[in-house]
Structure 1
Amino acid sequence: MGRAPFTRRAPFTRRDGAEALYVLAGLPSAVAGLLYAAVAVVVGGALSVTRVGGPATAVALRGARALGALRLGAAARLLGERIEPDARGGARAFLHLLVQPLVTALGLAAVYATWLCGAVLLTYPVQLRFGLNEITSRDASGTPRHGLHVGGLYFDTPASSLVVAGFGLALLVAAPWVVRAAVRADLAAARALLGVRAEDGRIRDLEESRSFAVEDTAATLRRIERDLHDGAQVRLVALTMHLAMLRETLPADAPEAVRDMVDAAHGDARAAIAELRELVRGIHPPTLDKGLDVALATLAARSPVPAEIRTELPVRPAAAIESIAYFCVAELLANAGKHAAATRVLIEAAQPGGTGLRVRVTDDGRGGARVRAGGGLAGLSDRARTVDGTVHVDSPPGGPTVVTVVLPLRP
């Protein structure tokens, strides 16, 4: 069942104590966050003109997310409010460091004005009876008065002290609702600046669905490749062998037409095998099973233009990413041989920062390559875009042509 509506919650429950404790726990968190934000701004501003400015900003945002996670943890432990943190909301987390002192101050003011002041005022008759209240003033006639006074009203008699106690009781009764409103403002700020936004959640669901579809497609293609390789191709090879044996065992007086038919069938079977092998390589190159570095080395060895390869791949990308990278390089090598009149090609594959895959193909051809609708480079861009990848072409007239493909490690 859902939580009771805000205006119908009964006061003086365990939740009320947890909310007050949550507000008090926010004070050290707010102070630490504000100090952290101030230091980050000063240090970040000083480093912004240096080469380490970008990494320093990334570290500062990561720290802001960590501080925000502590606040979300307090909400989960004390209030049972579980807010899914946004792992990519660094800027919003940093903004929360600036907003949290405001909402925390609001919560502390609510606790002070209700729970604390209410408790003090409720016990005012006891304070007055035993001389615990040290408030001393003089009235309009100059007579000393001991006790609480508001304007020209003095509450220094047993009867008037009961009025003060009644006001204190009213504050205590109102305290849960007042503090609850402040806590809701705090949680609203946390959800807006630290939690996953609704649109981000939908985007993430779509990304997960796309990732599953891409991986499932890659697995299906690998299965088709294996079936063709181990099934149809094996049968065609066996047929070719049988036709070769039949040709060798034909009697010497066999009609020439029969020999021609057997030779034609044998030739067609061999051509079918060659076409099937090309088809299999186009679906899923078997060399990709050994890793992208091995597959790219195989492409470089078969390249129509002499190719040098440099790879640094400490983490193996997903199979779908490897497949996209492979076919991009294959297309670029074919372009270098057919259109660029290149004499040398350099293939580079690396994982800068360990966050993605960067494949760069450079040729010394005539240059002038452009991304045109329906062209090969446009096809590469479309292929990369299916996993949020990019293709950048730098090909001035006269060359060289540098095509950089950037892909995530996982779709």
Structure 2
Amino acid sequence: MSDTSALPRPLLEPPAPQPNPGASGPWTGLRTFATAPFRARAWKEFAYLIIVFVLGCLATAYLFVMVGGSLYLSVLVIGVPVLAAVILGGRVWGRIYRVLGTVLLNAELPEPPPFTFRPGPIGWLRSAFTDRTSWRALLFLLLEAALGMVVGYLVLMVVALTALVTVSPVLWAWKDPHNVDARGVSHHSMVQFGDYYIETWPRVLAFAAIGVLGCFLLPWLFRGVCFLHRVLAAWLLTPTRRDRALTELRESRRAAVDDATATLRRLERDLHDGTQARLVGIAMALGRAEERIATGGDAEELIAQARTSSKEALTELRELVRGIHPPALDLGLGPALETLAARCAIPVELRVLLPVRPSPAIEAIAYFSVAELLTNVVKHAAANRIWVAVLPTGSDALAVSVRDNGQGGALQPADASGEAVVAGGLSGLAQRARGVDGSLFVDSPVGGPTVVTLVLPLAGPQ
């Protein structure tokens, strides 16, 4: 078994690309440096810096005119809703910067939670003034005004100076500049450093070489400044940890409700189509037996038929109850998993080490998850051996790991549609785990082995 303390990659994450030995070498860094000015990334980052410089100017005007004006008008009644609308305008600015960062910087900037407001004018105002996303966007605008406008201006000046130095030989030969020193001597020079004049072709070409070198250094300057923009955007324009926790809570609640609804529908269908029909048959058989006895006939066969049907109905009811709570779990998770391992069509090596018994909800989730994973291995993995381990991870959590020696590739596309072979089942297990503040991890390279690790709290969600 693999060490459960080193968890595999998260669910549905594609396998990491294998390094190409031929792509590295002593000339790789030099080739990267030499081709940087000609790559699309450098030009996209340069375009981003130009756009955010303009946006920084507009954002500064927005902050001073709109926010300042609405604060001034807030002494009047009309100024309060205007200020609320200006605050919510931060969301629009945030969306603009997220789109720019995603398109030009290839940054991952997920959308924050949408704005939700309480009913009524007062409720809308309270929601606007307490919208954390809007306030964080306004703070971003304030910092972006300094980063995009001030730093951006300096970067653009460096770009202009570098371009001027690079083409200086053309300007020097075409415009025929002359500078006169303190002694009255005229020099054919555009640039001077003290008493040193750039006035001969060797000096001019050497000076231009500095500009050419600067052209190869500019992409790295763009990259550093754009990195600061990405960090600032990821810090203030994306969902916070609290927002992500609330989103996961809503998703887990929805998954739990959907799972409960599906279970109730399955029970209703099974009871209606199976057990209810048998009970109706029993009632009809007993009714005919009662009529036959009243007329002095023999009802032994009908009573025997009703007895057999009642036993079958009880068996079906036991199966339904077992689907809700397996009887094996009454003895604990270990004996329940031993029952699953014994019934599996592939040999299973089981290892369970639980110093403390988990809560009943955690035991049920672990049991049904292992049952589904074993079924997936039998159906899809082409394996001949399975290892199941249930081990503690600290004092308040356990890790349920299922490993097989099959063909792997559980997360690879099965066809042109791009749908993974077992992605649906794994997604369901992940939602079930998140419902109790747990997580699911999958490591399934092509060729195997496949390791699925389910981390669950011992006591359920807090």
**TM-score normalised by L of structure 2:** 0.44
Larger radius of gyration: 1
**TM-score normalised by L of structure 1:** 0.49
